[in-house]
Amino acid sequence: MNNAALSELIDAARLDPDHVFSAPWEARAFAIALQLSKSGHFTWDEFRDHLIAEVRASDRIRARDGTSNHGQYYDHFLHALEKLLEEKGLAH
């Protein structure tokens, strides 16, 4: 993916007033993941599987350490997206 394509994705990820995110980066991460999936770089099911793995890993850490703070949903979302992009060779 070249810089122009990435810039287009980021521009397309402006906050939509009909959807609530805690921060602009969350909306952008969601929009980027959705657009990359729609563009055929990966399936939404592939992304979902990575997200589930991130949440499970967090739950295991929380259970092991006895902590209740195990991260926010979009932190997991972003980590799953980053890992999938690396796996697909779209990011280094």
Q: Model pTM? A: 0.68
Stretch 68-92: mean pLDDT? 84
* Structural domain includes residue 52: yes
Q: Does residue 13 carry a pLDDT above 50?
A: yes
Residue 61 binned pLDDT confidence (cut-offs 50, 70, 90)? low
- In this prediction, residue 51 carries a pLDDT of 93
Query: Could you report the per-residue pLDDT of 19-39, keeping only the tens digit for each?
Result: 567 788 888 999 999 999 999
Q: Which domain holds residue 53?
A: 3-87
Residue type, 84: L
Residue pair 58/76 in contact by the 8 Å Cβ criterion:
yes
- In this prediction, residue 15 carries a pLDDT of 47
| Three-state DSSP state, 27 | helix
- Neighbouring residues of 81: CB distance < 8 A, sequence distance ≥ 6: 29, 32, 33, 47, 50
Is 4 or 73 the better-scoring residue by pLDDT? 73
* Structural domain includes residue 92: no
* The total number of structural domains that make up the chain: 1
